[in-house]
Structure 1
Amino acid sequence: MAMNYENYVKDAKTWLHQLCTYLGIDDEQKAGRIFRAVLHAIRDRIPTGEAIHLGAQLPIIWKGIYYDGFTLHEPVRIRHEDEWLEFIRTKDAFAEQADFPTLDHVFYAFQDVMSFLRDRLSEGQYNQITQALPSDLTVPV
């Protein structure tokens, strides 16, 4: 079986270009960091089985980024929106101040990423993610 790396790169770049549109930015590096931060926060917040199901729906390069640092875990307990937004911010290693200078920046980036995921994941998977998030958090439906 031949490995078609060019298609993997193309799929990952397609997602990244589309994500830039959702975020309203042209900076692909920043968009990639934001996406990684939100994906890692979601991954660590949802049960392990759900985290694995989410990873299965990502393009292969994004799967690698998603699973980087992944361990079997108990979901992180976060009960309030501000805790959740701070948790996302901590996932943006070394760039959190550039990408997320305020919690409002985190909130809007999270909303945009969730809208992006809603349009790409199965409805069931998206609903599983939203149900695992803090109850006072507004997510796109």
Structure 2
Amino acid sequence: MVETGFSSFDTMVDKANRLLRDVEEAFGWPKERRKQSYAALRAVLHPLRDRLPVETAVQFGAQLPTIIRGMYYDGWKPAETPVKMSNEEFFERIRSEFPYAVEGGNEQLVRTVLKSLERHVSEGEWQHLKSRVPNSFAALLP
């Protein structure tokens, strides 16, 4: 656990690190690849957020660890959402935001990151999220 000297901050950092570790462990990445796990999470969260109706995006964001929530909302333009995009357009956006190669490609990256995220939000919110995306995309959600 990181020690900041302020227990609330320590808890926030710890929760964010647990989510990033989940991504790293799923890929078998060492902790030294923290930038890569952060980039993977960001690359998946931003197009997901933009694809959701505003209310759903906010409800989902409220479930994220505080530090990750800041990254989730970074650069968001609610007035321009939801953005309609096919799965291929979704994967293309991830390719443009995630500069690393991953075994299994971007679809595996999305599935892995979403599976890690699922463990950090309530079951009810996860089901709500699944109900608010197109069926073709819902198939990617664990």
TM-score normalised by the chain length of structure 2: 0.80
Of 38-47 and 121-130, the range deviating more from structure 2: 121-130
2:16 aligned residue:
12
Task: Report the Cα distance in structure 1 between the residues aligned to 2:61 and 2:47, rounded to whole angstroms.
Answer: 13
The answer as to whether partners of 1:42 and 1:129 remain within 8 angstroms in 2 is no
1:85 aligned residue:
91
1:75 partnered with 2:82: yes
Measure how far apart 1:23 and its partner are.
3.0
What whole-Å deviation, never above 9, does each CA across 1:64-116 have from its counterpart, x for those lacking one? 1111111213211113x2222112223x2xxx3x32479x5211000001111
For the aligned residue pairs, the C-alpha RMSD in angstroms reads 2.2
Q: 1:22 to 1:133 in 2, by over 3 A?
A: farther
What whole-Å deviation, never above 9, does each CA across 1:6-60 have from its counterpart, x for those lacking one? 2221221122112211233221110100101111111100011111111111111
Task: Report the Cα distance in structure 1 between the residues aligned to 2:83 and 2:108, rounded to whole angstroms.
Answer: 22
The answer as to whether partners of 1:115 and 1:140 remain within 8 angstroms in 2 is yes
Percent of counterpart pairs with the same letter? 28
The structure carrying a bigger helix percent of its residues is 2
The answer as to whether partners of 1:48 and 1:72 remain within 8 angstroms in 2 is yes
Equivalent residues, number: 133
Secondary structure of 2:106's counterpart equals helix
The gaps in structure 2 that reach 5 residues or longer are: 1-5
The answer as to whether partners of 2:46 and 2:72 remain within 8 angstroms in 1 is yes
The gaps in structure 1 that reach 5 residues or longer are: none
The answer as to whether partners of 2:51 and 2:82 remain within 8 angstroms in 1 is yes
1:38 partnered with 2:44: yes
The answer as to whether partners of 2:56 and 2:132 remain within 8 angstroms in 1 is no
What residue identity is the alignment partner of 2:45? L
